Structure 1
Amino acid sequence: MSTAEIRGMTAAEVTRKVLRDEPLFILDVRNEDDFNDWKIEGSRVEVINVPYFELLDGVDHVLDKIPADGEVLVVCAKEGSSKFVAEQLAESGRTNIAYLLGGMKSWSEHLEPVKAGDLKDGGEIYQFVRIGKGCLSYMVISGGEAAVIDAVRTTDVFADFAKEHSAVIKHTLDTHLHADHISGGRRLAEQTGATYWLPPKDADEVVFSYEKLEEGSDITVGSTRIGIQPIYSPGHTIGSTSFIVDDQYLLTGDILFVASIGRPDLAGKAEDWVADLRTTLYDRYKQLSDDLLVLPAHFGKFAELGEGGLVSARLGDLFKDNPGLNIQNEAEFRSTVSENLPPQPNAYQEIRQTNMGRITPGEEEQREMEIGPNRCAVHDN
C-alpha cells in the first residue's frame, strides 16, 4: 500500500479538532518517559502509548488496541517515526490513518488566536493559545494600532495577524523575564519598529536596551486611547507586572492562573519572594474589581480552556474557587509555594539567559530548549 493512502495532519488541524470537541484517537510512539511528561490532551481525545521500537517489526500486535473505525493519528517527536508507523497501519488494511506533521515539535509551537473580548470604545483583545506548551500571549488592537503582550518566539504569527486586521504593532511587552519559554517580544519589536517594554527589576542582567515598564505609566493603543495600565505584582519574579486593559481585563502574567498560582522558585529565590507573592495575591489583587476578567500567561491542563479555547476567569470567582487564593495560614502558604513543587521547566536556566540576551542559541536549539510543559504553576492539576 502506498504512502498516498496516509496523510499528514498539521498541528493547526489537530488544535481545531480538539477545540471543537471532535473525537480523535492518537497512537503516540515516543518513549514512555516523554509520553508521561507531556502529551496531546482533549475532552474527546483518546491516546495510547506504544514506543516506536516495539513497532519496528510490525503493528499486528497492537491492532486490537486501535479502533477499526474513525480517524487515527500517529504522533512522534519529529515526524519520521510516526510516518513509518502510519504506513505500517495502512499496509495492515486500516484506513483513515494520519501522522502529525513536524511531530510534537510542531505541536509545541502552534498558536491559535482566540478572541477574548471587545474594548469599550472600539477595538478587540485576542488571546493566542499555544496549546501544546500552555503559553498564552495577547494582542490589543485599537484604532489601527496593536500591542502584543508576552509574545512567544514564533513572531510571524503576530505580525501576520496584525496585518490581517489592518493594525501596526506599536508596542511589545513582557510581564516578566520568562523562564519556561523564549520571549519573542524584543525580536517582534525589532521586526516591526515597535517599542519593547520590560519590568526594570527583572532586567538587571539584560544586555539590550528596553523601555522601563513601571507602575503609574499608561501605554495607549490607537486613536481611541485604550489604556494598558501596569500594576507592579512581584512574586513569580521580583519584577512581575500585571496589566489592566480598558478597565475590563486583568493580564496577570505568571502570578495568577485559572486553576493555580505562580511559583516563586525559578530564579532560585523562593524564600525571598514568597512574601511578595502572597502580598500580590492576597492584598494588591484584592483591591481590584471582582469583575475584571483574568487573562493569565499560561495554563496547566486542557480542562482550563473554556469555550472556543479561551483561558479566562472572573477575578471574583477565582477568589472563591482557586486553591492558591484560599490558603489563610501564612506558614501553610509558604510551604505550599516553596515545597513539593512540580519539576522545573526544561532548560529554564538557559531560557532565562536567552531572554536576557546573554546567549544566542540557534533556531533548532531553541526548539529543543522549549520542549515539554511550561510548569510555571504551583499546582499542576
Structure 2
Amino acid sequence: MVQEITVERLRDKIDADDDFTLFDTRAPEDYDDWHIAEAVNVEYSGSNDELVGDFDSFREELSKDDEIITICATGNSASSFAEWLEAEGFENVKTVEGGMEAWSMVYDVVPISTKDDDVEILQLQRRSKGCLGYLVGDKRTGKAAAIDVTRATQTFKEAAAERGFDIARVFDTHVHADHISGGRELADELGVPYHLGQPAETRDPTYDFDGIDPNDSVDVGEVSIKSVHTPGHTTGMTSWLVEDEALLTGDTLFVESIGRTELQFADADARDGARVQYETLHKVIMSLPDDVKILPGHFSVTDDGEYVDVTPGLPMMSTVGEIWESNEILRLDEDEFVEHMFENLPSKPPNYETVIATNEGSYTPEDEDEENELELGPNRCAATEESVVADD
C-alpha cells in the first residue's frame, strides 16, 4: 500500500535537499501555471486510472528502490499514479496527502530580531503563495497582535499559543487582492477588535471595522503600533510601525521589489496611482531612519516555484537604509518610475476581482473548495517579475 506523507514532511525533505523524485500528475497546463520547483510533470488521469503523460523518459533514470513522491491538485490522481508505479516494480513510492491544495497552506514561523527582548515579532511565511503575516507580542503582558492573517487562522492561533500569547487585536494592511483574509474571522472568533487604517473606507467595505487614523497608535500590551498611511498599491493601504523599529509594509514595499498599483487604479488613473506610490516610497517610508526594519506582506514566487531573492524559513526583511542603497526602482526619478511601473508588469493575480470582492464583504465564496480555487497560484502583487535589487 502506498504511504501518504504530509506537505510539511515534503517541505522538510526539500529543505534538507533529500534525494528523491517528485512527480506532479496534473495536466501540463495546470503544471505550467504553478508547481513546486523540484517537481517534474507526468500526467496521470485519476478518473480514468490511466497514464497520460510520458513516463518512459524517466524510467531509465530511476532504480527500483529510488524514493519517488507523487503530487496532484488534491491527492487523487497522484495516489493512483503511485499505485501504478508500485505495480511497475518501484518499491519506495509515497504520495502527498491533500496535494497542491494542502501545499498552498504550508507555513514557516520565523522570529524577527528586535532591540527590546520583551517585544517579539514572528513572521508567518506561506511559502507556496508568498504571503507573509505577523504576530507582534509583548512578553510582559502576554498580549499579541495578528497582522495580515490568512485563511489559516489556526496557524496564527497555534503560533501565538506556543509562545504564551493571547491575541488581543487583529490588523490588515489593506483589502487584499491575491488571497482571502482571515482577519475578520479571527477577530470575531476571539471577540477582539479588527483594525484597518481608516483610509480603507475608500474601498467601501460592507462591514464595520475599528479604523485607525494616520499617525494614530494603539497599544498591544505595552507595545505601540502606529498607523502609517502608505497609499499607492491601494488608496487605503496602511503600514504598521511597531515601536518605531519595524514597519510592516503590506504590499507597498517588498524586500526584492515594490507593490504594483494598477489593481485598483486603472485606465487614466493608473499613472496617477504610480505617482502616489512614488511619493509614499520617497516621502514616507524612505524618510524613516535607516535602521528601521522593513517587513513586507509578500515575497515573490515564480510560476515554477522558485523564490526570488529570499529563502523560506529564514527572515524575509531588510532595512530602510539597505533598500535605499540597493533598490534600483527607487533610484529612478518620478517620470521614469511611473513609466517603469507599466513596462513589464506581471500578469494579474488569478481571480483577483473576486478575491477583492470577498475581502470587501460583497461576495461570499460558496465553500472551502471555492476558496481554494480562488487562491491557487503564487501572489502577483509586485510590480516586477524579477528582483530589482542591484547585485553587489
Structures share a fold, TM > 0.5?
yes
Question: Which amino acid letter does the alignment assign opposite residue 129 of structure 1?
Answer: Q
5 Å-filtered alignment, 1:1-381, equals 3=1, 6-41=2-37, 46-53=38-45, 55-56=51-52, 59-60=55-56, 62-66=58-62, 70-118=66-114, 120-142=116-138, 143-204=141-202, 205-222=204-221, 225-269=222-266, 270-301=270-301, 302-306=307-311, 308-326=313-331, 328-361=332-365, 362-381=367-386
Question: Which amino acid letter does the alignment assign opposite residue 299 of structure 1?
Answer: F
Structure 1, residues 170-200: CA drift from partner, whole Å, max 9, x if none?
Answer: 1111111101000011110001111101123
2:265 touches 2:273 (CA, 8 Å); kept in 1? no
Residue 341 of structure 2: SS of its match in structure 1?
helix
Q: Which moved more, 1:298-307 or 1:129-138?
A: 298-307
Question: Which amino acid letter does the alignment assign opposite residue 336 of structure 1?
Answer: H
**CA distance in structure 1 between the aligned counterparts of 2:314 and 2:26, rounded to whole angstroms:** 26
1:172 touches 1:197 (CA, 8 Å); kept in 2? yes
RMSD value over aligned CA atoms?
2.1
TM-superposed CA distance for 1:209, in Å, is 0.8
TM-superposed CA distance for 1:22, in Å, is 4.1
**CA distance in structure 1 between the aligned counterparts of 2:31 and 2:314, rounded to whole angstroms:** 23
**CA distance in structure 2 between the aligned counterparts of 1:229 and 1:118, rounded to whole angstroms:** 17
Q: Are residues 115 and 16 of structure 1, via their aligned partners in 2, closer, same or farther at CA, if it must alter by over 3 Å?
A: farther
1:264 touches 1:338 (CA, 8 Å); kept in 2? no
Residue 197 of structure 1: SS of its match in structure 2?
strand
1:150 touches 1:174 (CA, 8 Å); kept in 2? yes
Residue of structure 1 in register with 2:304 after alignment: none
**CA distance in structure 1 between the aligned counterparts of 2:207 and 2:89, rounded to whole angstroms:** 58
Residue 104 of structure 2: SS of its match in structure 1?
helix
Q: Are residues 295 and 18 of structure 1, via their aligned partners in 2, closer, same or farther at CA, if it must alter by over 3 Å?
A: farther
Q: Which moved more, 1:16-25 or 1:249-258?
A: 16-25
**CA distance in structure 1 between the aligned counterparts of 2:299 and 2:61, rounded to whole angstroms:** 31
Question: Which amino acid letter does the alignment assign opposite residue 321 of structure 1?
Answer: S
User: Gapped runs of 5+ residues in structure 1?
Assistant: none
Residue 160 of structure 1: SS of its match in structure 2?
helix
Q: How many residues align?
A: 370
Question: Which amino acid letter does the alignment assign opposite residue 149 of structure 2?
Answer: A
**CA distance in structure 1 between the aligned counterparts of 2:207 and 2:131, rounded to whole angstroms:** 24
Q: Which moved more, 1:264-273 or 1:97-106?
A: 264-273
**CA distance in structure 2 between the aligned counterparts of 1:354 and 1:67, rounded to whole angstroms:** 48
Question: Which amino acid letter does the alignment assign opposite residue 72 of structure 2?
Answer: C
2:108 touches 2:312 (CA, 8 Å); kept in 1? no
Residue 338 of structure 1: SS of its match in structure 2?
coil
Residue 109 of structure 1: SS of its match in structure 2?
coil
Q: Are residues 58 and 341 of structure 1, via their aligned partners in 2, closer, same or farther at CA, if it must alter by over 3 Å?
A: closer
1:259 touches 1:323 (CA, 8 Å); kept in 2? no
Residue 343 of structure 1: SS of its match in structure 2?
coil
TM-superposed CA distance for 1:84, in Å, is 1.0
